[in-house]
Amino acid sequence: MTTEIIAGWQGRFYEDFTPGHLYRNRFGHTVTEADNALFTQLTHNSNPLHFDAEYCKKTRWGQILVNSTFTLALVVGMSVPDISENAVANLGWEEVKLTHPVFIGDTIYCQSEVLEKRPSNSQPEAGIVKVRSHGVNQDGQIVLTLVRHVMVYKKDHAPATHFPEVQV
């Protein structure tokens, strides 16, 4: 009997993008207190809105507000399988808008729409893809929007992935 090796999802290459296509990440992420606390500490953010529950009770939010740069990092990270798994580089983020607060216990989802694509002028093995990503909470409210420019490999030019030969 011959075993057939089936490759898993490899991400999209430049040729796979079409303006107007909408990609929805298949998993949501429920934000935990640990997520927020660790990210806040790692980034030296000293705003008590992100870690002092008693202080937060006196604010308009009435509870801990999730660090907005965590929300940004989460949404960008969630878009990687669809947008930048085969990226040469991120070229820029623009139009970052925080449109609704995120709290501990919210579940965030990501969807990205391809806005434009063009061949790279400086890297013939890649193209530039422009996308708009939305972070969406469990109630369908957009919590974050950003536009990204990503340089993505063309299929025939991407570095080969490596999986070691399994020793049986």
Across the chain, mean pLDDT equals 94
- C-alpha distances (whole Å) from 93 to each of 55, 72, 89 are 32, 11, 12
Say which DSSP state 75 is in.
Answer: H
Checking if the pLDDT of 7 tops 80, the result is: no
Checking if the pLDDT of 10 tops 90, the result is: no
CATH number of 14-156: 3.10.129.10
Q: Please tell me whether residue 81 adopts helix, strand or coil conformation.
A: helix
If pLDDT is split at 50, 70 and 90, which confidence band does 159 have?
A: confident
pLDDT in tens, 28-38: 999 999 999 99
CA–CA gap between residue 27 and residue 129 (Å, rounded): 23
What pLDDT, on the 0 to 100 scale, is given for residue 143?
Answer: 98
CA–CA gap between residue 114 and residue 135 (Å, rounded): 15
Say which DSSP state 66 is in.
Answer: P
CA–CA gap between residue 140 and residue 145 (Å, rounded): 13
pLDDT in tens, 12-58: 999 999 999 999 998 999 999 999 999 999 999 999 999 999 999 99
Question: Minimal CA–CA distance to 106: which of 53, 55, 60, 142?
Answer: 142
Q: Where are the domains of the chain?
A: 14-156
For CA atoms 75, 79, 83, 84, the dihedral sign is positive
